[in-house]
Amino acid sequence: MTNKTYSTIIFDFDGTIADSLHLMIDIFNSMVHKFHAEPIGIEQIEYLRSLTIKELIHELKIPILLIPEFLFIGKRMMKRRIDELEPITGISHLIEKLSKKYTLGILTSNDAETVEEFLLQHDLNHFKWIHSETSLFGKDKAIRKRLKLEHLIHREVLYIGDEIRDVESCKKVGIDVVSVAWGLNSHTLLESSEPTYIVDEPAELETILLKD
């Protein structure tokens, strides 16, 4: 339960709303030969979830200079396979309830049209805006830009994401952040970054955001 008064909640998309980890791994593995990277085996997933994005790039031997092209092709493939994605269990009901109390937005590195199609397919049209950010390492700049566009007060904004870089970006900007441990990064790694809150399932967000 929180004593803070939030008016706006910003969601990350992949790994937070959409259960996209395994599809992303499948797409990644289909591209490794082109980019001379290392494929991901099922047995590696939990270990890889304990790594930061920079450590992950190093571990999988992704050439730094090819990351923009890698992301571009990956997003295009994700768009083609959007029908394979499902919402995280319990997140749809939570979003519907949150939308009655808060203004909701999405900030994502995914393609905005892909996100819109997913929301339409799963009856999740509760978001005022979707902000697509192309840079893998510039999320804090994207958050600042969106806060300015929406004329938002920092203390009234809460970000919800599944990566340690979400926590780092929110701290740079000066907004609170909930880390969700069902996405890309593990609970242990997320906890080490000291987010405002950390949860393991959507129901815990109700305790934080929907209890008087």
pLDDT per residue as tens digits for the range 173-208: 999 999 999 999 999 999 999 999 999 999 999 999
pLDDT per residue as tens digits for the range 62-112: 888 888 898 889 999 999 999 999 999 999 999 999 999 999 999 999 999
Phi first, then psi, for residue 48 (nearest 5°) are -65, -30
Structure tokens at 65: 């200079």
Q: Which fold has domain 8-19+86-209?
A: Rossmann fold (3.40.50)
Q: Cα separation of 9 and 156, whole Å?
A: 9
User: Does residue 125 have a pLDDT over 80?
Assistant: yes
User: Does residue 3 have a pLDDT over 70?
Assistant: no
Question: Computed from CA positions of residues 56, 40, 49, 127, in that sequence, does the dihedral angle turn out positive or negative?
Answer: positive
> What H or E segment, with its residue span, contains residue 107?
strand 103-108
Q: Cα separation of 35 and 13, whole Å?
A: 25
